[in-house]
A and B are shown apart, each in its own frame.
Chain A
Amino acid sequence: MKLIRTLMAAATALAVSAFVAPTFAADDPGPAAYAKSLNGKRVMLVPLAMGFDLAQGWAHYLKKEVEAWGGTFETRDPNWVVDAGAQAITDAIASDTRPDVLIIHAPDLNSYSKLMKKAQAAGTYVLLVDNPANFPADAFVGSDWDKLGQLEAEAAVKGCGENSSKKIGLVQGDQANSSSLYQYAGIMKVLEKHPDFQVVAKPDSNWDATTSRNVTTTMLQQHPDICSIIDFWDGDATGASAAIRDAKLEGKVFLVTTGGGEKTADCDKLVDGTYGAVVMTDLARQSGDMNAIIKFLLQSGQPAGTSHTYIYTLEKATTKADLKPDSCWDLKALQAEAAAK
């Protein structure tokens, strides 16, 4: 019955279009099809928290596009609490206004796997952003953390130079988050190629600036001749930089970190010499990638969970020397823009 109805509808559509087409030959069929598949669709972002630069940047760029094509964009703020994130996702799937696309910033490799599967079963496309997880999402958009680690290590090796102590210290995040684990693997790959360089210590900061400061202080006391430190996130690298400042080793220890390319968090600190190099994510482009894949999925007509695409953001280690006016984006400006509306 359904098939017959579909066939009839198709036949009618064909007949109508065949009949109408010559009259409106100049009309592009694209926008109508685009509006038909996108209009009224719901997109929801569940980051680790809404209170930090990456999430606020993504939300800004996504909201702008989604609302422009007539969809609704929502965010949930689990505020770094894994359970709260799980609750937000569960509620979203069960609600009457189930999102058509769910963008998830996973806290670790496994926590949300079951929920994401549920979401797909309910017909919601699942996008993973920034942090990979053990789950075949419809698409992953974010950094190749292994590659990112390699870029950091290369920057550190270059920052140390040939005539240095060739001692490198790492301040890892933790031992559960994929971004930390893969970053470490990438760094070690590069250092294997430079056997004269050695990692003298690799404590964890647990992503906390005070802990980062304390472990870096100890590290610098044990190895005052360290030539470079790689801290795994700019959110806690302020602690490592405080330790370097306190040890009066500014300019002697080349601090490398990674971040979302926000102006005050990254570029300003490259300018004032706090950081030697930052592997920055091009946030606008990353958000653009998400927008593109959302538009593709919603028009594809394929059931959720059909394709598994990896869209890695182009990363690059930026130093003070190759800093450009557009190297960073400015959160304050985005907030002002949002407030002005």
Chain B
Amino acid sequence: MAARQGLSIGAKDIAMNAIGWPNWRRLNQEGIVFAIAILLFAAATVGLPGFLTADNLVAIVRSVSVLGILALGMAVVIIGRGIDLSAVAIMAMSVAWYLQLLNTDTSDGLAFAYVLAGVLAIGLLNGFLVAYADVPAIFVTLATGSFVFGYVRSQLITQDAVPVPQGHWVELLGGLRFLDIPVEVFVFAGLAFLVFLFLRYTKWGRFIYFAGDNPVAARNIGIPVRPMLVLRYVLSAAMALIAGLLTAASLHSINTRVVNSTLLYDIVLVAVIGGIGLSGGRGGVRNVLVGAALIGILLNAMTIIDIPLLYQNLIKAAILLGAIIVDGIINPRDEQTAQQGDI
């Protein structure tokens, strides 16, 4: 009963009622980004030979699968008015440690148990510090991310790149195909569906919106805001582990250098460009999918045209900026829509 009530209140307040197509009459950032993605898709279909082929479309989805999985975890955290800057460190370092344990003849079950325990512990630590010690999420996760990287890199592994042992299940996972579609795509789709169900149809999922929109009010009406917060960071950490395993599966190794790359910003980008407000309480899985679609189509088209990386970054940034500016004009911020705690 409580869940259903929560759902109806949430639907009214947050205008999240429509599943499926964005609401065209009142164009928001998600709609704008979706429109840009469609336009790009159409332009690439007409202008680029070989763009609209089954293989290429699969490649596009695959290229953003790992990014999308990480963005799903990030989305859950951001909707609850938080941010997880430790995601990429957890992704790379947990799997690097796992592979290192395997390469030094630790039994598979034990190695996996260690790593899973480590990942959950970091998620719990993030959540605990944010929820109970009241440290801002941005500082907590920045610190734990650095800690995870530094500790694992200096104490547990010997090299940046750790290979997957020959014939190990992670290697076999990377070769898995159903209907010629790589396994990452299915994992991404499956996780997206699960997160959708969680956010939309479970009590705790709905509560995340309340907690993100107004944590104090949510607490006053009896929502267990703090334990839920911990859960979100644990979820994000677990998503990062899955993303890391898929990366290693495809490349047959994991390179911890990825922690220094722009991947973390790309994750936030995918979530935010799709329309999940950094101030919390807004958005859902659909926004992640729209954001991921735009980035995927954009990168693929630019690679086909053979645009140098420097210009690719410039174009990516320009489109992002454009979407934000248009959103700012169509949906101006005012005192009623702005929230305390905006980043």
What residues make up the interface of A, taking CB atoms closer than 8 Å to B? Answer: 49, 51-53, 56, 79-81, 174-175, 201-204, 206-210, 213-215, 217-219, 221-222, 235, 238-239, 242, 245-246, 264, 331, 335
Contacts and interface: CB of A to CB of B under 8 A. Distances in A.
Interface residues of B, number: 37
B161 interface: yes
A210 B159 contact: no
Contact of B63 (A51, A209, A214): A214
A264 B163 CA distance: 9
A221 B56 contact: yes
A53 B182 contact: no
A210 B50 contact: no
Contacts of B182: 246
B309 A52 contact: no
Contact of A218 (B56, B159, B175, B250): B56
B8 interface: no
Question: Chain A's interface: helix, strand, loop or mixed, by majority?
Answer: helix
B252 A238 contact: yes
B299 to A, nearest CB: 7
B59 A242 contact: no
13 contacts: A56-B159, A175-B308, A203-B306, A203-B309, A209-B255, A214-B63, A214-B303, A218-B56, A218-B59, A221-B55, A221-B56, A238-B253, A242-B251
Given A56-B159, A264-B163, A210 B304 contact: no
Contact of A209 (B158, B251, B309): B251
B153 interface: yes
B66 interface: yes
A175 B310 contact: yes
B131 interface: no
Given A79-B260, A201-B303, 9 more contacts: A49-B257, A52-B161, A202-B306, A207-B257, A210-B258, A214-B59, A217-B59, A221-B56, A246-B182
Interface of B: 49-50, 53, 55-56, 59, 62-63, 66, 153, 158-161, 163, 174-175, 182, 247, 250-253, 255-258, 260-261, 299-300, 303-304, 306, 308-310
A213 B153 CA distance: 24
A-B pairs, top 9 by smallest CB distance, nearest first, are A51-B160, A204-B309, A214-B63, A218-B303, A217-B59, A222-B50, A209-B251, A80-B260, A215-B303
Nearest to A49: B160
Contacts of B55: 221
Contact of A213 (B50, B158, B251): B251
A208 B159 contact: no
A206 B309 contact: yes
A96 B53 CA distance: 64
| Residue with the highest number of chain A CB atoms closer than 10 Å, among B53, B182, B303, B308 | B303
Nearest to A331: B159
A114 B42 CA distance: 49
Contacts of B50: 221-222
A221 B299 CA distance: 15
Given A51-B160, A264-B163, A203 B303 contact: yes
B308 A210 contact: no
B160 A52 contact: yes
Nearest to A222: B50
A207 B262 CA distance: 12
| Residue with the highest number of chain A CB atoms closer than 10 Å, among B182, B258, B306 | B306
Contacts of B310: 175
A246 B161 CA distance: 21
Contacts of A245: 175
Contacts of A203: 303, 306, 309
Contact of B261 (A79, A208, A215): A208
| Residue with the highest number of chain B CB atoms closer than 10 Å, among A81, A201, A214, A235 | A214
Contacts of A217: 59, 62-63
Given A209-B251, A213-B251, A221 B53 contact: yes
Nearest to B177: A246
Contacts of A80: 257, 260
Nearest to B67: A210
Given A218-B300, A264-B163, A174 B309 contact: yes
A164 B310 CA distance: 33
B251 A210 contact: yes
Contacts of A174: 309
Contacts of A218: 56, 59, 300, 303-304
Contacts of A215: 303
A52 B159 contact: yes
Nearest to A223: B50
A239 B306 CA distance: 18
A238 B159 CA distance: 16
Contacts of A204: 308-309
Contacts of A219: 303
